[in-house]
Amino acid sequence: MHPAQPTASHFINGEYIEDSSGAPIDLIYPATGESLGRVHAATPEIVEQALASAKAAQRAWAATSGTERGRVLRRAADLIRERNRELSVLETYDTGKPLSETLYVDATSGADALEYFGGLAGSLTGEHIQLGDDWVYTRREALGLCVGIGAWNYPTQIACWKGAPALACGNSMVFKPSETTPICALKVAEILCEAGLPPGLYNVIQGRGDVGASLVSDARVDKVSLTGSVPTGRKVYAAAAEGIKHVTMELGGKSPLIIFDDADLENAVGGAVLANFYSSGQVCSNGTRVFVQSGIKARFLERLAERMATARIGDPQDEAVNFGPMVSQRQLDIVLGYIEQGKAEGARLVYGGTRLDQPGFYLEPTLFADVHDDMTIAREEIFGPVMSVLDFDDEDDVIERANRTEFGLSAGVFTQEVTRAHRVIASLEAGSCFINSYNDAPVEAPFGGAKLSGVGRENSKNAINHYSQMKSVYVRMGDVEAPF
């Protein structure tokens, strides 16, 4: 058995559960295209077990003190850090992302979320509002049973970013990872359990969209948090609306990165690399429309192509490698299709653009210049390592063009002029923004999108509002005056 093969497909009520009558889901290793093993999609019985155990466990958990809940989360964070290498290797098998990334940003960022929300749990309070002799107090209460549904690009991180605030607030969770990356969330569930989380509070079940849909439509579910594409977001949001459920939607993007003439060249190039090629470009917040002012364009493109040529592409388990394969054949085909479309519509291919002639889903980091706003590669989310460079001269013009998109996840600006940096960022319609940087996502900062890119925020104190609700209690100290 391959070490990436999980003990069983699902983790319910504190233990691994198998039900091999569910549809098979192969664990395809993106670096080789080989199957490392298999899990099975949840059958209706498995879905029922997961929801029933989450429902049954939630009340008692919400009745514990925040400090007690936080202690469990912080213990889980410590266990994750202790096992970072083992978890990072698994993340690399699950996604194909290079170990040189996963060692630093996946399990570690999951641990950050558990530590941060574990720390906050004990300080979650309501307030007291004096009204003469009468008064109102508010109680911050859990929502109840939360469903988390993940995308395939950050399976450990997403499982923790949803689970940590949910559990800190006294909720339970049923989490369904993407069918493309089923492995890592099971480890998160196992570790939470080992850290002392009572059974039933964090369950993981496998499956495709139909399993996700059956979770969302269940009447016992109070909240749904989805990380995925806009089309899926529309369906899940609509299904949640039927039951007036709370939602958090972390969806796609086509974010602008604006580089002014006065930008520090090396930093701007580094920012553009981070905004397009980290995780082989499979990052929702990527700044894939890179607007470059005409005075710096030639030097920017030259230096960027030079630095792209130093990418070390290869076996993602080799720590010297810093650029891995695409997650799947399907995603590779989608991205190759966009590259062909870019060429056909007249964009100038400056670097890359070809699939590597070897097993696995490898594609070169790719750079297009002379891209226009109306080209398909400048409008649609590609979700792969394809950067589009667009030209501009005027600040107001570039802001208008940058905002001319249905998406609004992220935006970045590189300039050394401090007032311009803040002025431009203030005008951009996006949730997570960067000045002279790109793609930082510390747990202390709210993360999420505007426009079609999403609803609600993950991380930071802000996430607490999306996993709890206020009960307000009016207390009358005198007699009740009634009209009759």
Residue entry with tokens 């796609």: 252
| Residue 213 engages ligand NAD in binding (rule: CB under 6 A) | yes
Residue entry with tokens 């792209």: 308
Segment lying near ligand NAD (by CB under 6 A), choices 228-236, 262-270, 359-367, 465-473: 228-236
3-class DSSP assignment, residue 445: coil
| Residue 251 engages ligand NAD in binding (rule: CB under 6 A) | yes
3-class DSSP assignment, residue 39: strand
> What tokens were used for 31?
């670096």
Quickly list DSSP for 84-113.
HHHHHHHHHHHH---HHHHHHHTHHHHHHH
By CB under 6 A, name the one of 115, 190, 218, 381 that touches ligand NAD: 381
| Residue 76 engages ligand NAD in binding (rule: CB under 6 A) | no
Query: What b/e string do you get for 413-446 counting C-beta neighbours within 10 Å, with b at 16 or more?
Result: bbbeeeebbeebbeebbbbbbbbbebbebebeee
| Residue 153 engages ligand NAD in binding (rule: CB under 6 A) | yes
Kindly list the distances between the CA atom of residue 243 and the CA atoms of 60, 111, 218, 247, 378, in Å, as whole numbers in the listed order.
24, 33, 9, 11, 37
| Residue 376 engages ligand NAD in binding (rule: CB under 6 A) | no
Least Å distance, CB 95 to ligand NAD, is 11
Which ranges constitute the DSSP H helices of 275-381? Answer: 297-308, 329-344, 376-379
164 contacts 116 by C-beta, under 8 angstroms: yes
Residue entry with tokens 């930093």: 267
> What tokens were used for 444?
């202390």
| Residue 197 engages ligand NAD in binding (rule: CB under 6 A) | no
What angle separates helix 66-82 from helix 107-121, to the nearest 10 degrees? 160
Amino acid 34 reads: E
Least Å distance, CB 141 to ligand NAD, is 26
Q: For ligand NAD, which is the closer residue by CB, 224 or 268?
A: 224
| Residue 229 engages ligand NAD in binding (rule: CB under 6 A) | yes
Q: For ligand NAD, which is the closer residue by CB, 49 or 153?
A: 153
Least Å distance, CB 253 to ligand NAD, is 6
Q: For ligand NAD, which is the closer residue by CB, 72 or 149?
A: 149
| Residue 94 engages ligand NAD in binding (rule: CB under 6 A) | no
| Residue 434 engages ligand NAD in binding (rule: CB under 6 A) | no
| Residue closest to ligand NAD when measured from CB atoms | 212
Residues belonging to the active site: 162, 250, 284, 458
Least Å distance, CB 177 to ligand NAD, is 6
By CB under 6 A, name the one of 91, 94, 179, 364 that touches ligand NAD: 179
Segment lying near ligand NAD (by CB under 6 A), choices 12-20, 226-234, 269-277, 395-403: 226-234
Least Å distance, CB 252 to ligand NAD, is 3
| Residue 175 engages ligand NAD in binding (rule: CB under 6 A) | no
| Residue 178 engages ligand NAD in binding (rule: CB under 6 A) | yes
| Residue 173 engages ligand NAD in binding (rule: CB under 6 A) | no
Q: For ligand NAD, which is the closer residue by CB, 83 or 451?
A: 451
Gap between the Cα atoms of 273 and 283, Å rounded: 12
Segment lying near ligand NAD (by CB under 6 A), choices 99-107, 207-215, 302-310, 418-426: 207-215
Gap between the Cα atoms of 356 and 358, Å rounded: 6
Gap between the Cα atoms of 398 and 260, Å rounded: 10
Segment lying near ligand NAD (by CB under 6 A), choices 21-29, 49-57, 129-137, 174-182: 174-182
Q: For ligand NAD, which is the closer residue by CB, 238 or 473?
A: 238
Least Å distance, CB 309 to ligand NAD, is 27
Gap between the Cα atoms of 263 and 136, Å rounded: 53
Other C-beta atoms lying within 10 Å of the C-beta of residue 95: 33
Kindly write out the interface string for residues 274-313 of this chain, putting x where it contacts ligand NAD by CB under 6 A and - elsewhere: ----------x-----------------------------
Segment lying near ligand NAD (by CB under 6 A), choices 103-111, 221-229, 358-366, 460-468: 221-229
β-sheet with 348-351: strand ranges across:
348-351, 366-369, 386-392, 289-293, 256-259, 410-414, 432-435
By CB under 6 A, name the one of 208, 307, 343, 423 that touches ligand NAD: 208
β-sheet with 15-17: strand ranges across:
15-17, 10-12, 202-204, 172-176, 145-149, 223-227, 246-250, 454-455
| Residue 236 engages ligand NAD in binding (rule: CB under 6 A) | yes
Binding residues vs ligand NAD (CB under 6 A): 149-153, 176, 178-179, 208-209, 212-213, 216, 227-229, 232, 235-236, 250-253, 284, 381, 383, 409, 449, 454
